[in-house]
Structure 1
Amino acid sequence: MNNFNKYIKHHLQNLTFGYYPKKGWIIAQNIDQIKTMGFFSINLDSIFFSILMGILFLFIFKKCSFLLNSNTTPKGIFNVIEYISETINNIIIKNLKYKNELIGPLSLVIFMCIFLMNLIDLFPMDIINIFLYLLKINQNIKILATSDINIPAGMAISVFIIILFYNIKNKGLIGFIKEICIKPFNNIFLIPFNIILESLNLLIEPLSLSLRLFGNMFASEVIFILINILPFWIKWVLSLIWGVFHILIIPLQSFIFMMLTIIYLKKSYKTNTINSHEINKMEK
């Protein structure tokens, strides 16, 4: 049982670099050192694999764009890329009736980057750590970046900032503040309650984006770890079954994150919830 606990803890530990009071800036050797480092630490493996998948996304789509613009017949992966682009474009046209030059590229980047980061989870989880063991390096590298809360939270916060920007841009700073003050109850005495309620409503958006993605991918990784410690005769069967099921989870999580982003941006255009009569009434 102790070996199992050690195996699980080892595989849930990131390659973390940070400041440790007794040794200075080091790569953490155990979970206790990671806890001591606290906020002043960086998960090198999560950053590396997220950047790597971003570069892979740019490389594939840049190459595909050159070929598609050269009037050649798309084949293989180019058909897949064209299908994904057209599908996302149709979703945006159907759900967002306002002109926005950012939403298309943003939705595509979100979907593909999360998809590629999730796709890594189908690779054998011990393959990199075996190489590290052969090199006598007692460190664990987590290749699934989305199972690190920092990556989904960083993406969610970035989307949240964009949502705030378009709320202020489309409604004006005064209009945005007034909307917070009179929703959901158009009563001057309920303004403090409205502010609390709407502030919580705004904060829930990045929380729902980050925790949903992190929770699903972290749980999936834990299941793979638990399967991996089972006897060989049953391990490969369960790995195959869970791997097939996981193939459905990978694009689903990417799609959900993208769709929620589109929906939240759509809300930033709904200025008809406040009309001039209501604003004048509140001013009086």
Structure 2
Amino acid sequence: MASEYTTTEYIQHHLTNATMCSVDGEIAFNKACGDAGFWAVHVDTLAVSIVLGLIFLFLFRRTAKKATTGVPSKFQAFVEIVIEFVQDNVTSTYHGKSALIAPLALTIFVWVLLMNLMDLVPVDVLPAIAGLVGETAYGMDSHDVYAKFVPTTDLNLTFALALGVFVLIIYYSIKMKGIGGFAKELSMSPFNHWAFIPVNLVLELVTLFARPLSLALRLFGNLYASELIFILIATLGYVQVFLHFPWAVFHLLVLPLQAFIFMMLTIVYLSLASEDH
């Protein structure tokens, strides 16, 4: 597939999302969207992330319903290990009481991990299938069919996840401290004097907004760089055989680590928001 493009075109094609928008009341795709901006939807990111989320829910729910106190199946044992791992981290990090935190942490860890693992699929396989479907079913030129199958390489998705965490941070801050307590925390810390309220607000608001920003950019940056390296390796022809496997093996550590970091920072931020003092 790489030979059909110049190297620059090949890289740009793989880094372009399948975009859908409305132009003059009609549905348009990619280049026809122009400057649709906010109103453009990355259908590949939405489709892959939703499908992976449903797979996660199906497998874990099915395992829970079929769980046995006897000798567990291999997958049940795996699910139990994952749940215990997440529960241990929640117990040691979150110091409040909430029935939401552990399920939230489990969902974040497994869902982000599944999305990250899409990075291990050879970069040409799924886009080639998408191009073939577009060509045979819709009469499109395969060069005009775009598809990114690693949702966490899309900044829109990582920001959406981080925004959800940010909403929970605000919710727990107000729930534990009240609106007045939360306002006082922003205005009277770290300098507990009315004259420093403007300074405190700047410092605390920067800290508050930096949390979701760092969550989104850290996950996106690591996965985008990883995907870009896989794409660059794919442009090397037959040499890629000797480079793809070592890089993929390295990512067997990196991809779970990024999911773990996102989960742990979420727990830490919510733990800080839940402190009533």
What's the TM-score, normalizing by structure 1? Answer: 0.90
Letter in 2 for 1:184: P
Alignment length (residue pairs): 266
Superposed counterparts of 1:117-266, under 5 Å: 117-135=115-133, 136=135, 137=140, 138=142, 139-232=145-238, 234-266=239-271
- Structure 2 gaps, min length 5: none
Letter in 1 for 2:10: Y
Letter in 2 for 1:257: F
Query: What is the CA deviation profile of residues 158-181 of structure 1, one whole-angstrom value per residue up to 9, with x for unaligned ones?
Result: 011011000000001101101111
What SS does the aligned partner of 1:63 have?
Answer: helix
Query: Residue 106 of structure 1 corresponds to which residue in structure 2?
Result: 104
Deviation at 1:133, TM superposition (A): 3.6
In the alignment, is the contact (CA less than 8 A) between 2:53 and 2:111 conserved in 1? Answer: yes
What SS does the aligned partner of 2:208 have?
Answer: helix
What SS does the aligned partner of 1:18 have?
Answer: strand
- Structure 1 gaps, min length 5: 273-284
Q: Does residue 48 of structure 2 align to residue 43 of structure 1?
A: no
In the alignment, is the contact (CA less than 8 A) between 2:52 and 2:111 conserved in 1? Answer: yes
CA distance in 1, matches of 2:33, 2:189: 43
Match for residue 81 of structure 1 among 76, 79, 82: 79
CA distance in 1, matches of 2:131, 2:273: 51
Q: CA RMSD in A?
A: 1.6
Query: Residue 12 of structure 2 corresponds to which residue in structure 1?
Result: 9
Query: Residue 282 of structure 1 corresponds to which residue in structure 2?
Result: none
Deviation at 1:25, TM superposition (A): 2.6
Letter in 2 for 1:67: K
Query: What is the CA deviation profile of residues 226-277 of structure 1, one whole-angstrom value per residue up to 9, with x for unaligned ones?
Result: 0000020x201110011001111110000000000010011012232xxxxx
CA distance in 2, matches of 1:226, 1:120: 17
What's the TM-score, normalizing by structure 2? Answer: 0.92
In the alignment, is the contact (CA less than 8 A) between 1:20 and 1:36 conserved in 2? Answer: no
Letter in 2 for 1:59: F
Deviation at 1:24, TM superposition (A): 4.2
Query: What is the CA deviation profile of residues 206-233 of structure 1, one whole-angstrom value per residue up to 9, with x for unaligned ones?
Result: 001100000000000100000000020x
